[in-house]
A and B are shown apart, each in its own frame.
Chain A
Amino acid sequence: MLNASTLLLIPLLPLLSFLFISFIGKKYLPTLSGTISVLVLSASAILSLAVAYNYFFVVGMTNGFYQAIIPMKLEWLRFSPGVSIDMGIILDPISVMMLVVVTFISLMVHIYSLGYMKGEERFAVYYSFLDLFTFSMLGLVIATNLFQIYFFWELVGVSSYLLIGYYFTKPSAVAAAKKAFIVTRFADLGFLIGILVLSFHSGTLDIQTLIARLTTSDTTFYASATFTGFMGVSSLTWGLALVFIGGAGKSAMFPLHIWLPDAMEGPTPVSALIHAATMVVAGVYLVARLFPIYAISSPHLLELIGYIGIISSALAAIIACTQTDIKRVLAYSTISQIGYMLASLGVSNYGGLNGEGFSASMFHLFTHAFFKALLFLCAGSVIHYVHSNEVRDMGGLRKKMPITHLCFLLACLAIAGIPPLSGFFSKEEILAAAFAHNQTIFYIAWLTAGLTSFYMFRLYFLTFWNRDYVNHHESYEHHSEGSWNMKLPLLILMLGAVGAGFVPFHHLITSDGQPYESEFHLNITLMAVGLSLFAIIIATIFYRKKNNLPDKISSSISQLYDFAYHKFYFDEVYQFVTQTILFNTIGALSSWFDKNIVNGAVNTTAFITEAFSETIKPVQSGKVQGYALAFLFGILGLIAILFFFNF
């Protein structure tokens, strides 16, 4: 079952589907393309589940450890002996888990889009992009080589760009697509330099070799990476930090988060797949992939990553409380939850019970994929129904959309961490890990969990309660909640969001592959659940019935509220830095220098040459007798010189 040909099918099926739709389906089967993709993705998803079953319960465990299996590795480009770009497949607990998550969520989104995107002009193109994305993401998670990760990392960036800009007639969508691409590309520059630094010192690009060489301190590679440095920090730490910058860009961590809220311009199912469940967790996955190096060789950097994660988490949660666009609230919630995952990695050590942060982070990634995809798909249904993203156009939808209402409520409970839904288990593990290793991160995480419950239930009540639904679009009155293919994925994901917490993660996915028994911390659980319930009650008081309490509160803290409402002015700061400082000051100066000094030097040389040649040009008159005269006087002159100097 775990042979290379079966495993290759998982990423290659979506690729084939992408090629088929792009070259044939788009033209001849424009409406059937969606069905074809769904069938292909189902095959991929079933294969992934089979692989996961085989890996976790049949062949993966040897000597009490989950070992990495590499069924295939092809040398693609060799730089020097030992340093080559390979294309391969690695199976270890995290990659197998990601395979399942990516194919499963992608399948749900494919099915959902059959209904949501029905009647779109570029329906087939949409599916081809989705398949391209799925292929790239699968290639990323099974990568054996750092450069293979980078390769697919850029491919997911491109697919994300294409899908955000899907409605390319809307200027805001075009701007959002460009913003997402440029910001992540800027971060990827760090990633690339990081790869080069790490591979320069370790002499390899292969991840397993890299980990082996950079975690044992008696190798020459380790010595070379730690004894050289820049500004008092070793090259190893620099390399890892630069790699993390790439991850932070993709995962929308502060201050590189600005692209994610704007990316909500894309179709909602795309937001569910790319900007909530899979692509944005690539940064977390990257740190998890290289986790032994981070944890063993650079623990201080890992701690810093934890702080970046938790600060992003807290800031995003505060912003989410003030936003009124349903998808933007969810986008900030995504940033917040990814921050949680990174914080959890940050408080983890390598091996055994000390690695519980790692396990918890992967657990949260897993459960988050379900409930966040569910939230986005529910939001998609709501947007489909009311034709607006603004919560002020919603309200009172619980009777019009009973299934969506139920799913959204359960997903909100899951993200709020109410037992026994999935979010409760993963959050509890993260909080326990934070409590054991870093109290500062624990308390921020705890408060953020409360904020999360508050803003999610604020969104829930504003959308489904608050007041009676008023239809703003009379012509759309015939709308029902959505066709079966929009409801089915909601129900399946709802089961995932409810039940994913019962997966025994600390038995399956641990930092060193060895299962451990997690302890149950009653006091932490009581603290977290208590705060969540308290936040939900406050949200209920504020938003269940329309009242002026929220306005009163927000005007009493109006400065802080405005600050958060404007997303802490991050966009304005970026605007200032790029527009005023980069373009208008540095850019103008460089332009002046280029025009006047560089061009001036070239032009002056050309001018001097031309003037000189104009001056001596008449000598070449073309008159034979003139030449003969010159020749004659030349000879006479030579003779005179010979006589004069008496040679």
Chain B
Amino acid sequence: MIDQVPLTHILFLSTALFFIGAYGFLTRRNMITMLMSVELILNSVNINLVAFNRYLHPNIDGVIFTLFIIAIAAAEAAVAIAIIISLYRKINSIDPEQADELKY
């Protein structure tokens, strides 16, 4: 059944997901939402990997990569949230616009 869905459709989905994530990352004024946008970007990549694995290279590599990315995303979320918390303690805000001390 899945064969009736062409690869391009899945790639459209992942591309859409990527740009939604990128747009969210660039425009949100809340670091938690930015973190969520990063998850969207990662998941769009995951979709790509699984799709290419299914359609072009039918072996186990793509799936394993996907599992890796999910694991790393979890770790990344832990680190990012820790950073966000300590930043909040420091500047009393989680707006990235406020955390611009590291400039010229």
Interface residues of A (CB under 8 A from B): 617-618, 620-625, 628-629, 632
B22 and A624 contact, CB distance less than 8 A: no
B26 and A625 contact, CB distance less than 8 A: yes
Find chain A residues with CB under 8 A from B99 CB: 622, 624
B96 and A621 contact, CB distance less than 8 A: no
Among B88-104, those with CB < 8 Å from A are 96-97, 99-104
Which of A622, A628, A629, A632 has a CB less than 8 Å from the CB of B103?
A622
Residue of A nearest to B102 (CB): A622
Which of A617, A620, A623, A628 has a CB less than 8 Å from the CB of B97?
A623
14 contacts between A and B (CB under 8 A): A620-B103, A620-B104, A621-B100, A622-B99, A622-B103, A624-B96, A624-B99, A625-B25, A625-B34, A625-B96, A625-B97, A628-B25, A629-B26, A632-B26
Interface size class of B (residues with CB under 8 A): 10 to 19
Find chain B residues with CB under 8 A from A617 CB: 104
Do A623 and B96 contact each other (CB < 8 Å), given the known contacts A628-B25, A632-B26? Answer: yes
Question: Measured between alpha carbons, how far is A629 from B99 in the docked complex, in Å?
Answer: 17
Question: Measured between alpha carbons, how far is A632 from B23 in the docked complex, in Å?
Answer: 11
- Chain B nearest CB from A171 CB (Å) reads 57
- Chain B nearest CB from A477 CB (Å) reads 86
Interface residues of B (CB under 8 A from A): 22, 25-27, 34, 96-97, 99-104
A622 and B101 contact, CB distance less than 8 A: yes
Question: Measured between alpha carbons, how far is A283 from B27 in the docked complex, in Å?
Answer: 90
Closest 4 CB pairs of A and B: A622-B103, A622-B100, A620-B104, A617-B104
Residue of A nearest to B25 (CB): A628
B100 and A623 contact, CB distance less than 8 A: yes
- Chain B nearest CB from A266 CB (Å) reads 65
Main DSSP-derived SS at the B contact region: loop
Question: Measured between alpha carbons, how far is A628 from B41 in the docked complex, in Å?
Answer: 13
Question: Measured between alpha carbons, how far is A629 from B23 in the docked complex, in Å?
Answer: 9
- Chain B nearest CB from A606 CB (Å) reads 18
- Chain B nearest CB from A625 CB (Å) reads 5
16 new A-B pairs (CB below 8 Å) besides A624-B96, A625-B96?
A617-B104, A620-B103, A620-B104, A621-B100, A621-B103, A623-B96, A623-B100, A623-B103, A625-B27, A625-B34, A625-B97, A628-B25, A628-B26, A629-B26, A632-B22, A632-B26
Residue of B nearest to A616 (CB): B104
Find chain B residues with CB under 8 A from A620 CB: 103-104
Question: Measured between alpha carbons, how far is A449 from B97 in the docked complex, in Å?
Answer: 100
- Chain A nearest CB from B23 CB (Å) reads 10
Q: How many A-B Cβ pairs are below 8 Å?
A: 29
Question: Measured between alpha carbons, how far is A621 from B103 in the docked complex, in Å?
Answer: 5
- Chain A nearest CB from B32 CB (Å) reads 14
Residue of B nearest to A622 (CB): B103
- Chain A nearest CB from B1 CB (Å) reads 34
- Chain A nearest CB from B71 CB (Å) reads 24
Find chain B residues with CB under 8 A from A622 CB: 99-104
Residue of B nearest to A614 (CB): B104
- Chain A nearest CB from B95 CB (Å) reads 10
- Chain B nearest CB from A619 CB (Å) reads 8
- Chain A nearest CB from B97 CB (Å) reads 6
Question: Measured between alpha carbons, how far is A39 from B100 in the docked complex, in Å?
Answer: 83
Find chain A residues with CB under 8 A from B25 CB: 625, 628
Find chain B residues with CB under 8 A from A618 CB: 104
- Chain A nearest CB from B91 CB (Å) reads 12
Find chain B residues with CB under 8 A from A628 CB: 25-26
Question: Measured between alpha carbons, how far is A135 from B45 in the docked complex, in Å?
Answer: 92
Question: Measured between alpha carbons, how far is A628 from B102 in the docked complex, in Å?
Answer: 15
Most buried by A among B22, B99, B101, B104: B104
Find chain B residues with CB under 8 A from A629 CB: 26
Most buried by B among A618, A621, A624, A632: A624
Question: Measured between alpha carbons, how far is A622 from B99 in the docked complex, in Å?
Answer: 8
Residue of B nearest to A623 (CB): B100
- Chain B nearest CB from A131 CB (Å) reads 66
Find chain B residues with CB under 8 A from A625 CB: 25-27, 34, 96-97
- Chain A nearest CB from B29 CB (Å) reads 9
Find chain A residues with CB under 8 A from B96 CB: 623-625
Find chain A residues with CB under 8 A from B102 CB: 622
Question: Measured between alpha carbons, how far is A624 from B103 in the docked complex, in Å?
Answer: 10
Residue of A nearest to B103 (CB): A622
Residue of A nearest to B96 (CB): A624
- Chain B nearest CB from A617 CB (Å) reads 5
Find chain A residues with CB under 8 A from B103 CB: 620-623
Question: Measured between alpha carbons, how far is A620 from B101 in the docked complex, in Å?
Answer: 11
Residue of A nearest to B97 (CB): A623
Question: Measured between alpha carbons, how far is A208 from B25 in the docked complex, in Å?
Answer: 90
- Chain B nearest CB from A252 CB (Å) reads 67
- Chain A nearest CB from B24 CB (Å) reads 11
- Chain A nearest CB from B31 CB (Å) reads 9
Residue of A nearest to B31 (CB): A624
Residue of A nearest to B28 (CB): A625
Find chain A residues with CB under 8 A from B27 CB: 625
Question: Measured between alpha carbons, how far is A618 from B96 in the docked complex, in Å?
Answer: 17
Find chain A residues with CB under 8 A from B104 CB: 617-618, 620, 622
Question: Measured between alpha carbons, how far is A629 from B26 in the docked complex, in Å?
Answer: 7
Question: Measured between alpha carbons, how far is A622 from B96 in the docked complex, in Å?
Answer: 10
Find chain B residues with CB under 8 A from A621 CB: 100, 103
Residue of A nearest to B29 (CB): A625
Question: Measured between alpha carbons, how far is A623 from B96 in the docked complex, in Å?
Answer: 7
- Chain B nearest CB from A549 CB (Å) reads 92
Residue of B nearest to A620 (CB): B104
- Chain A nearest CB from B36 CB (Å) reads 15
Question: Measured between alpha carbons, how far is A625 from B104 in the docked complex, in Å?
Answer: 16
Find chain B residues with CB under 8 A from A623 CB: 96-97, 100, 103
- Chain B nearest CB from A643 CB (Å) reads 16
Find chain A residues with CB under 8 A from B101 CB: 622
Question: Measured between alpha carbons, how far is A628 from B37 in the docked complex, in Å?
Answer: 13
